[in-house]
Amino acid sequence: MKKLIAGNHKMFTGVKEGLALASEIARNAADFGNAQVVLFPPFTHLCVFHEQLQGLPLETGAQNCSDMPEGAFTGEVSAGMIKSTGATHVLLGHSERRTLFGEGHELLCRKINQALDAGLQVVYCFGENLQDMEEGHRFSKIEEQLQAVFESFSQDELDHLVLAYEPVWAIGTGKTASLHEAEEAHAFARELMRNKYGTDAGNELRILYGGSVKATNARELLSSSEIGGVLVGGASLDAAEFLQIIQAAG
Ligand code: 13P
């Protein structure tokens, strides 16, 4: 299976700048090799990205979606609207949404439900923060975040879900989890899936790593069979560096 290389642009770039970034990446599509590439720009960029990148092996996704299908919810964007831009993916459960916007398990499960109903692939983020790590609650935090989802969806539904392990202490800090730390969190998540839905479901689960991924550490992370790809923040805003990360997928 190809490695998934995802770029989370967060709340950066205007439309022109974002499009220039995406076009520069797309110009090098011949070098994508073993990578499936998905860009997550702000909502405002999705339509124009899709129009300009048509026919190229570059997919798009949103960084969030509403937990409601439609209605008088000023400022919200539904999963169906995201799908209608041509996007294929949505990122849910990112630690910035959990901590800065107070998103909890119940809300996130409703959002996942909307995304699956709309036919989007979900990239669901999980991971412990520094305090969990220091107090020895790392795995219980991961278990809590994943069980809430595994218990709410069927195995068929979870086929449309990719996990992204993002230890909060590694996001935007320059500190990457060691390969061992990433592999043990991935293996733990996979085991939870196996316990719930059996060996095949656990083995087939795609789990990305995110948190200070750079051109300099991507090759080592992507060489692991436990790591199905990477979710890149800061380094995805630099086309040359993001291309090096794509090429590190082999
Ligand atoms: P950084 O790569 O900037 O640490 O961000 C990671 C992230 O939050 C991706 O979703």
**pLDDT, tens digit, for every residue of 159-188?**
999 999 999 999 999 888 999 999 999 999
Q: What percent of the chain lies above the pLDDT cut of 90?
A: 96
Average pLDDT over residues 101-106: 97
**pLDDT, tens digit, for every residue of 33-66?**
999 999 999 999 999 999 999 999 999 999 999 9
CATH class, domain 3-247, is alpha beta
* Structure tokens that stand for 107 in this block: 């809300």
**Contact yes or no for 80/70 (Cβ under 8 A):** yes
pLDDT, averaged across the chain:
96
**Contact yes or no for 5/246 (Cβ under 8 A):** yes
Choose one of 166, 175, 216 to mutate for the ligand 1 pocket test, by most ligand atoms within 8 angstroms of C-beta: 166
**141, amino acid identity:** K
Task: Of 73, 51, 57, 159, give the one whose Cα is nearest residue 112.
Answer: 159
Q: What percent of the chain lies above the pLDDT cut of 70?
A: 100
Residue 16: pLDDT band with limits 50, 70, 90: very high
Average pLDDT over residues 148-160: 95
Q: Is 175 in the pocket of ligand 1 (CB under 6 A)?
A: no
**Is it the case that residue 243 has pLDDT exceeding 90?**
yes
Which residues neighbour 197 within 8 Å (Cβ) at sequence distance 6 or greater? 150, 155, 158
Atom 7 in ligand 1: which residue has the minimum CA distance?
233
Task: Of 131, 109, 111, give the one whose Cα is nearest residue 120.
Answer: 111
Whole-number pLDDT of residue 188: 98
Give the distance (Å) from ligand 1 centre to CA of residue 172: 6
Atom 5 in ligand 1: which residue has the minimum CA distance?
233
Give the distance (Å) from ligand 1 centre to CA of residue 153: 27
* Structure tokens that stand for 90 in this block: 């949505």
The answer to pTM > 0.95 is yes
Give the distance (Å) from ligand 1 centre to CA of residue 231: 7
Task: Give the rounded distance of the alpha carbon of 62 from its chain centre.
Answer: 10
Q: Output DSSP code: residue 35.
A: E
Average pLDDT over residues 132-152: 95
Give the C-alpha separation, 217 to 77, whole Å. 35
Which residues neighbour 99 within 8 Å (Cβ) at sequence distance 6 or greater? 129, 168
Beta bridge partners of 63: none
Whole-number pLDDT of residue 74: 98
**pLDDT, tens digit, for every residue of 208-230?**
999 999 999 999 999 999 999 99
